[in-house]
Amino acid sequence: MTKKQPEDTKLLVLPGVLVDRLKETSNKRGTSLSGYAIEVLEEALRAEKLGATLGDAVDAYRMREIHRGAGAMVVPRSSLGELVKDLKKSHAEDFGKLWEAAGRWYGRYLLGKLGVEEVLPFLRQDLLTSWNLDDVEITDGDEATLRFTGFMMSEEFTDLLVNYAHGLMESLGYREVERDSLRGMATIKYMRVKKG
């Protein structure tokens, strides 16, 4: 695949299907195609040294940027847990509504940002990360199911997430038809709302 060239260079074969896109991107950046490709390869090798792949790094960074754009902040997990637990009796209904509204807003934001095709696949990883869950499954289609598990998740957080998911899925065009939840896990079924 690599051919020895004079002056300590080797030729790497570039995939033909990518060349036009690479040209377009390098032109936009004001660099040559080879300059751009070499820069990318160097970054990929750096990623490897850091124990990551370029794809993983891009996905993680993209999620961070989406969270940032949605007004998410980083807080000590214990602080939120303690406070929500403490306020549960007096504020349960208010918090439920607030989290539902936040989920609805976030769903709309994701639709605008990612487009309908990408939202559900993105959400799986997003919920895993931002709610510190151990497992998330989302099945797509006219009948969708969201199933999540968080072994260390409190009852209060579980309720908040269920409310959040309710708002979120509603804004993506799904109506909740069945809910089964207990501390740290829930299975929620949805039907796609037909337009018109």
Of 101-120, binders to another protein (CB under 8 A) are 102, 106
What is the three-class DSSP state of 151? Answer: coil
Mark residue 158 as left, alpha or beta (left: phi above 0; alpha: psi -120 to 50; beta: remaining): alpha
> Applying CB under 8 A, which part among 38-46, 144-152, 175-183, 184-192 lies near another protein?
38-46
Helix or strand holding residue 125 (H, E): helix 116-130
> Applying CB under 8 A, which part among 56-64, 136-144, 168-176, 186-194 lies near another protein?
56-64
8 A C-beta contact, residue 107 and residue 118? no
**Residues 178, 170: Cα–Cα separation, whole Å:** 13
Span 13-32, contacts to another protein by CB under 8 A: 13-15, 18, 21-22, 25
Of 31, 96, 124, 131, the one binding another protein (CB under 8 A) is 131
Nearer residue to another protein within complex by CB, 64 or 175? 64
196 binds another protein (CB under 8 A): no
**Residues 158, 151: Cα–Cα separation, whole Å:** 11
Of 23, 43, 69, 178, the one binding another protein (CB under 8 A) is 43
Span 145-184, contacts to another protein by CB under 8 A: none
Helix or strand holding residue 137 (H, E): strand 135-139
